[in-house]
Chains A and B, each alone.
Chain A
Amino acid sequence: MIKQKGMLYDITLCVGCGNCYNACKEQNKLPETNKDFLKDHLSDKTYTVVEQYGEHYSRKNCMHCQDPACVSVCPVGAFTKTALGPVLYNADKCIGCRYCMQACPHKVPRYEWSNLNPRVRKCILCHDRLKQGLPTACSEACPTGATMFGDLDDLREEAKKRLRENPNTYYQRIYGMEEAGGSNVLVVSPVPFEQLGFVSNLPKQPLPKLTAQAMEKIPGVVGVGAVFLTGMYWLTKRKNEVAREENSKRTGSVNNEK
């Protein structure tokens, strides 16, 4: 069976060197967007960033959700969740509605706003490398082990182990374990995640469930609606006919009396 891959960021280990940032740029052949990588932000030309929050450094890129909102909302199925874990985007299908960007709970997908044939851009967890059995470029470049690549199951255990063994070092929550149904990228941190710019008010259930609850009512609405409309049509038409008949009878009998 194919094991899902993922990444674990340990904020306590990150020294803010920017090797992951540069490796990502190189791997995806992206142009330079900012001389100081710490001041850069996610864009159509930057798929991962290192951000400084006081003494801590935090990474941001696509979380590769277990049940991704982008996959669920795309009207033409341009997004797919692969068996290996990465969430991929197919520009050949895309119509450019940008519902993926609107729906993404982690606010990750970026758009080529200046392109006349624009595409959605984001981290794809180095899918091509994963298929060859290689780790992601950013995790390979990390000198401290702050970004760790591996099987998702192992990473989850590793994250739990770190929190258990060093309860004083870590804020006791693993970001990505439950957020919006969980993701293939996990984060452990010494401080609460809202202090590191992570979206902290996410529901635990996968977000596509919210639309599914509405969508699953459609067959019922159509069925009941069709029966109701047909019934009303028949009833009211009959009522009008009866009224007309009675009207003509009445006028008829009035005429006879005369």
Chain B
Amino acid sequence: MKSNFLKFTFWKVVGVIIIVAGLFSMYIRFTKGLGASTNLSDAFPWGIWIGFDMLCGVGLAAGGFTLCAVTHIFNIEKFKPLTRSAILTAFLGYILAICGLMFDLGRPWAIWHAIIMWNTHSVMFEVAWCVMLYSTVLFLEFFPVVLERFKLVKLQKILKSVAIPIMMLGILLSTLHQSSLGSLYLIMPEKMHPLWYSPFLPINFYLSAISAGFAMVIFESYLSARAFNHGLKLNLLSTCGLISLIFILVNFALKIAYLTVTGKLQYLMIPSSTTYLFYLEILLGTIVPGFFLSSKKFRDNKKYLYFSSLFVIAGFLLNRMNVSVTSLAAMSTASYFPSVYEISVTLMLCTVGMWAFKLITANFPVFEEEREEEIPESALEPNSKPLTISE
């Protein structure tokens, strides 16, 4: 087989540069410490490794549990072709979020303490357990794809018999920790800007994760359809866009209702970069996708649908950054902007994620529906198709 692994393309070169820079930043982080490698301070102890890698990484992975719910619990079977790639995205998202956490924790080697040293009052404790368990669930949800690739029928059958309870567990765990990522901020009402602090933060986080999860399904389906030249399930993705929009609008209504009822609308009138960032978040994440996704004409056009999903994702990212950085900076005398090392580690994790997604989808039956029928004995001969390393 002719391998084009060593063939240079523009994005491959960019990717390699990002990863080399990321590895250098990793070296600085673990030899010089958090002080030398980040712009974090006593007044700003959480930066983008929490705000972006954790809050966004986990949030964007929400497509995994929502599509599981749609296809296996609500039994809307036509969505099955999208489920596996959503589960893979989720699995990679969680792995990378955990990797990001290893950079951020001051004592990453002590992370296992959360298993035996309990503090059930802590939201972080709950999130830690949910993320731990749900990553295992995601592994079990994706593992059948690996088994199918290597035609391990017996194991496939065992996993299939427990698939439904595992998926239900996954949905419950996701519901808990997606919302709890918002609950992390409930304890600091006086430190956050009133436009973002609300007792409904857990619900806001849950709803926005669901809408961003569906947007990610559109995003990755569009890109992989282009990369692998397989057909785009446009009618399904169009419905995903609509579901995403419904959750965006419900979340938006909840936010505006809360601001109105508590008399906080006045903060929208104060001209400051903080207020503008709130407007930008609404523009990117609500108004633009609201305009395009509410029209069936745009929704059924794959280009418009793709761009709408980009806006949903951008609005989601900005929301998480606003909650975790902007709203705190607005109420503090301290300011924070990530260091080059923080940015470069984050870029490395994103790049690794995309490459891993590409590599796995190229080698495993991710874009196929799971096989309902029994696999014939004749199909049990070893697979002769070689593994693909690139393109």
Contacts and interface: CB of A to CB of B under 8 A. Distances in A.
Partners in one complex: yes
Contacts of B176: 218, 221-222
Contacts, number: 167
Contact of B33 (A98, A114, A207): A114
A88 to B, nearest CB: 14
Contacts of A215: 121, 123, 126, 183
A115 interface: yes
Interface in A39-72: 42-43, 69, 71-72
Interface in A188-228: 199, 201-203, 207-208, 210-215, 218, 221-222, 225-226
B75 A239 contact: yes
Q: Chain B CB within 10 Å — which of A109, A117, A211, A236 has the most?
A: A211
A129 interface: no
Contact of B122 (A42, A74, A96, A232): A74
B354 to A, nearest CB: 27
Given A73-B187, A211-B183, A232-B73, A114 B36 contact: yes
Contacts of B124: 73-75, 97, 99
A237 interface: yes
A118 interface: yes
A107 interface: yes
A135 interface: no
Contact of A115 (B33, B69, B73): B33
Contact of A95 (B114, B168, B184, B187): B114
B113 A226 contact: no
A225 to B, nearest CB: 5
Interface string B175-194: 11001100110111111000
Contacts of B75: 233, 236-237, 239-240
Nearest to A118: B106
Contact residues on B (Cβ < 8 Å of other chain), bracket: 35 or more
A222 B172 contact: yes
B187 A96 contact: no
Given A113-B35, A232-B73, A96 B105 contact: yes
A211 B123 contact: yes
A96 B108 contact: yes
A236 B73 contact: yes
Contacts of B119: 72, 74-77
B74 interface: yes
Interface residues of A, number: 57
A240 B111 contact: no
B168 A230 contact: yes
Interface string B84-116: 000000000000000000001111101101100
A94 interface: yes
Interface string B14-34: 000000000000000011011
B171 interface: yes
A17 B42 CA distance: 26
A208 B304 CA distance: 45
B171 A225 contact: yes
A211 B186 contact: yes
Given A76-B117, A99-B124, A214 B36 contact: no
A25 interface: no
B101 to A, nearest CB: 8
Nearest to A96: B106
A116 B183 contact: no
A2 interface: no
Given A96-B107, A233-B168, 18 more contacts: A74-B122, A75-B114, A77-B117, A77-B119, A95-B106, A96-B108, A105-B191, A107-B43, A109-B42, A113-B40, A114-B35, A117-B107, A207-B189, A210-B186, A213-B199, A225-B171, A233-B73, A233-B75
